[in-house]
Chains A and B, each alone.
Chain A
């Protein structure tokens, strides 16, 4: 307060001696300072003190006044009785939020369920099929032997034991193996010796040879198909080009014709229906001709048959030879079970059974150290394929795009929304 500069309103004019600094009126300031000093001496500045230091509240009732009041206003007995409160809270029929039950409010921070719990609940409620798996309890370790378990004796001995559903014998039938021969496929087939990480040369060579010929055959087949397809396309294109040429020509011609010939009479050689009936002579002639034809074909056939009979002996010889050749052809014996057995044509389900991966180590990748081995194939697909081959499940193509509801496009009729003004 004391440090304030001279104020404007107190100093209307700056002309004259009154405006000098030494002539500024400080009496108010000085008096203030002196009061403050006095207050400090008497025990602190009053303005800075807390109100408790300055005032006290008189809470004690005045005894004589109260007595006088009670004399004049005596409460009724009924009021006294009503004022007596039970320690037990009264029942309340009023509706209130579910969180308040016994009059004790839960603290705000703790909810009934955590956010994670809520997520879980939501997943169970709306998650659909995906959450069903968690319902299964598989992580508990076995605590008894199902093959040695004693049947539980029921307390109600007078009741017949509940009848069990009898298993149909069809359930025990082996699943349909997807091999052409119908032979069942082992769950884990013995490995081909050529698939050793460090194979014997003969085994490895045999495997490479086998897989190689298979791959080459496939490639040849593919190339052949490609060629045929290319040929087909070329043929179609040629035909199209020809047609177009013809069209062009005919168009040009017709134009030319129409231009120059004008109206030319259309001489179309229509097939004229025979006007008159066949005479009997004609019919006879036709019959004779037909009979002659029939006879000739019959004779030719008979001649051929005779010739074949004559050749029979030679044919038998030929057959014998062929069979001998068949015997001589090398019999390929499968050394291990893991041979690519041909699959059956009719399969279960829509999708084809996927091809097994090529599990062969080429010559330049052949390592004799376990450390350098690069494993081939994929066991996940191998297991899945095995399930399909054994007919345990049907093959399915994974659904990458679901069917969407069909949409129809229509024009909006908003162009009709206009008014004459």
Chain B
């Protein structure tokens, strides 16, 4: 006979412990237990059979692993919690006896706790900590944007803000921000730090409502742990690139809304601010001065800044190893039919130079904090903004001649809307900020331009994002185009099937007798035809009819000077680019889809169609053969996949057809203009 086992002495009954039992065992209050569990990363578990664990268990009973709880017994924090309780009792007794000085003395001996050891324990390596940073960053950025209440004290908020700003500074210096997305919830960011993708969500300003359904004590406990964690992560990141941690924090600048500018980074080797700061030295002094004086002062400041920048930039580069991180592209071995491997997007050097040659000015209606952060993270050295938006701007003078780009987010008004007011102000001398006249020689864009440029890793055509223009849709950078699906950002040649263009052209030829070409006259900007152009357009999937019009409007709104320049450019440019594209297509062995593809000599109508059909049939046969080889279960899965693929491809083809039509019209318009 087998050995008789005693009930409740082994198995599930031994492995699990209820929360009440755990609290009793540890001899602490329930709140302390909760905090301890959060700090140590001990989560509630679920036994396979609750009734086997405990007869009394109800559906609401929470269980923990007994071994986890036993491990908690060794936690130094637990002893601290108990000590704290004991000392609090002593203080209460002293106060009851009116022995205030005794109470004071006891209060000084209250145990103070630190979570340092837990950070190392929970994240044995630094990479572990980075992997778990998503939640920490989202929480801290959220709390940094909360209003202070009794549940969330101002001290906590200030700490969160400081840590977040420090982290942002690291991202700026290391150019490790990769993607960002404007959602209706908030702004998503993704950075790659030491090979780890970190994604976090930052709320928009001033919209957080405090609701009653969340337990702020629990959130506060998480914040306590995460602040400690991010502090150490920041320390490590700063020291890894040769910076001093903690960086200098200018409280007065922070008070006046300095944000990123309130923190000054210092290099370990040379004492002095790094070049990443907004090179502003004289702009507070010269605020009251006239516009001319302001410009002069800024010039001087800029020169000074440049003088400082050069050694500062060179020095750290000596110790921080600069790797030529031109990224590799990964090619598939299997050939054409295989899935496209996701390619790494932007390398650090590319990110560092995207906006490096520009000076931006943010109008007062734009969100300053995200724009400043993103622009600087992608290489911009000089960001100015309206004085309303806070301290730390490169310039607060909108008329500064250094400014190359201005970010505006307001409806476009006719040029003479303010003429009456402006006339009065001109007599006074200084141009008022109220009179929003355009400064020539500067590009005006809407904020979305910055985000789209960053996500695509290149500068997009700014006229599509001009103020008042209908913006192309803001696409999520995390949606990877599937095989066969339509990708609005890629040029047509890359994604179309072989022979598709010709087939389409044939169909078009049949239809064109009845149809009439509508949008005959496009704007002058349609003339510039390169990859960037293609990337910018075609995003608008549904608004295909209105696109031509909106572009024409956008083009009309740009200053006269620019227009002249572009017109000169366009005629020669168009010819050159078309020739170039033809050559490229030839080299790639692809047919060049031009306006007159349908009337190509030596090709009978219907030939392409036949060819395509033949090819299709061959492919299908091959697939069927493969399908037959599969076992039944896999065959079903295969069928499912096939169904999805076909659907996607049909959709994509429809969209491509639409786009091809548009492009053709555009080309026709250009040709007409060229003549």
Contacts and interface: CB of A to CB of B under 8 A. Distances in A.
Contacts of B95: 121-122, 125
Interface stretch (B84-92, B431-439, B516-524, B618-626): B84-92
Contact of B135 (A118, A145, A187): A187
Interface string B481-522: 000000010000000000000000000000000000000000
Give me the 10 closest cross-chain CB pairs, A-B, nearest first: A165-B74, A125-B92, A187-B135, A175-B43, A168-B67, A200-B473, A193-B476, A201-B542, A142-B235, A350-B60
B222 A387 contact: yes
A386 B135 contact: yes
A363 interface: no
Interface string B565-606: 000000000000000000000000000000000000000000
Interface string B446-457: 111000000000
Interface stretch (B181-189, B294-302, B306-314): B181-189
B351 interface: no
Contacts of A359: 184-185
Contacts of A124: 88, 91, 107, 110
A348 B112 contact: no
A170 B181 contact: no
A343 B264 CA distance: 47
A349 B182 contact: no
A181 B358 CA distance: 50
Contacts of A258: none
Contact of B120 (A146, A168, A187, A331): A146
Contacts of A310: none
B183 A196 contact: yes
28 contacts: A120-B107, A121-B107, A125-B88, A129-B29, A133-B220, A145-B239, A148-B236, A167-B71, A170-B67, A175-B43, A176-B45, A191-B181, A191-B183, A195-B185, A196-B474, A198-B182, A200-B540, A327-B636, A354-B213, A369-B411, A370-B367, A373-B204, A383-B142, A383-B219, A384-B215, A387-B222, A391-B43, A398-B213
Nearest to B62: A394
A146 B365 CA distance: 43
Interface stretch (A10-18, A52-60, A374-382): A374-382
B134 A186 contact: yes
Chain A, interface residues (CB within 8 Å), range: 35 or more
Chain B, interface residues (CB within 8 Å), range: 35 or more
B9 interface: no
Interface of B: 29, 31-32, 34-35, 38, 40-46, 59-60, 62, 65, 67-68, 70-71, 74, 80-81, 84, 88-89, 91-92, 95, 100-101, 103-104, 107, 110-116, 119-121, 123, 125-126, 129, 132, 134-135, 138-139, 142, 146, 155, 159, 181-186, 188, 199-201, 203-204, 207-215, 217-222, 224, 227-228, 231-232, 234-236, 239, 245-246, 365-367, 409-411, 446-448, 470-471, 473-476, 478-479, 488, 539-543, 636, 639-640, 643-644, 647
A75 interface: no
A135 interface: yes
B644 A141 contact: no
A144 B246 CA distance: 11
A370 B32 contact: no
A311 to B, nearest CB: 24
Contacts of B38: 392-393
Given A335-B479, A379-B203, A391-B44, A112 B541 contact: no
Contacts of A191: 181, 183, 185, 188, 476, 478
Interface string A178-199: 0000000011101111011111
Contacts of B119: 146
A173 B132 CA distance: 15
Given A122-B95, A193-B476, A349-B62, A133 B44 contact: no
A135 B221 CA distance: 12
B44 A176 contact: yes
Nearest to A167: B71
Interface in A143-171: 143-149, 165, 167-168, 170-171
Given A199-B474, A200-B473, A380-B211, 16 more contacts: A125-B88, A125-B95, A133-B220, A136-B114, A138-B115, A142-B234, A176-B45, A191-B478, A195-B185, A201-B543, A371-B410, A375-B184, A379-B138, A379-B185, A379-B201, A392-B38
A46 B110 CA distance: 73
